[in-house]
Chain A
């Protein structure tokens, strides 16, 4: 079996997997170059280089892969190393490759990255959260850390943190959750964040439903008012806010688009 092969990734046919095996020395370069030329001509611009069975990767081989990177980046493509061993990682890091080509510990981790970056796949978080104000900072931190880990900037995360805070406090303070929990849903991709907060409550009369609807539709507060600014802030910091109030349930959803995305 040839130690060098290329095939499409079954889960993402756009992705070509270059699998290398054993010792990849200078003598392997012509075969790698020939295979790459053949696949690039067919316009395959996303590459996962499977290094799981590589014992040695020579400097010229690394150079060839760096050359592949230059070619695919010009076509808005990508290259990543999958499953490099410990000693290979040390060598690649010493050469500074880690600053240019990302590594993933296995194909699942690579697919996760690829789908986020190139398929705009969303991430989800669903929580049943205790309806106590003391827990809200934990929820805020969780959402902030998730978004920051996916490249959201501190400034945009700050506004989302505020929305999470206000909607959660609203569910706790005004919803009077009858089961002492509220439901929190987060969905985000590279372009937008969607949040949905749902709380159950005691039977609301039609008058109470109307008052809550008015508060969500057109929140108002006097200049000296101590409360009532939360929903206003949510509206100002989000692009869209919708709500649904039933006699035993209140649901508020927001969408926050990322600027310039």
Chain B
């Protein structure tokens, strides 16, 4: 679970200077959701307009984490940007779907698929 593991690492995406790849590791919960959304807001303030979240190593999410994702999604959309999520595990996807957030979030099966939709 959480431990001292960093939840988020941020990488550039080749040929897309205004896009960033966010790799999530571990649990997105009440202990780190606010930091996560602040990190993304900082990116937006720096001019980033496309964010891809790789959830392949995200084990767990709770309602606070989900709220933070929706907040980030809303902020990106307000700036006419894109926020995409890829590689969501079965348990995390169930929580997103059961609450109806899948209709608000752009979810891709794989990172390649998400990257291929970048413009």
Contact = CB atoms under 8 A, between A and B. Distances in A.
Interface residues of B, number: 23
Contacts of A158: 60, 91
Nearest to A223: B104
Q: Point out which of B27, B30, B70, B98 has the most chain A C-beta atoms below 10 A from its C-beta.
A: B30
Interface string B54-98: 000000101110111011001000000000000000010001001
A226 B70 contact: yes
B67 A136 contact: no
A228 B71 CA distance: 13
Contacts of A227: 63-64, 67
Interface string A214-239: 00000000011111111011001000
A232 B27 CA distance: 20
B93 to A, nearest CB: 12
B39 interface: no
Contacts of B64: 169, 227, 230
A166 interface: yes
B13 to A, nearest CB: 27
A136 B30 contact: yes
Contacts of B100: 223
A225 B103 CA distance: 14
A20 to B, nearest CB: 45
A223 B102 CA distance: 11
Interface of B: 1-2, 27, 29-31, 60, 62-64, 66-68, 70-71, 74, 91, 95, 98-100, 103-104
Given A224-B104, A226-B71, 19 more contacts: A133-B30, A136-B29, A137-B1, A137-B29, A141-B1, A162-B62, A169-B62, A169-B63, A169-B64, A223-B100, A226-B67, A226-B68, A226-B70, A229-B67, A230-B63, A232-B63, A233-B95, A233-B98, A236-B98
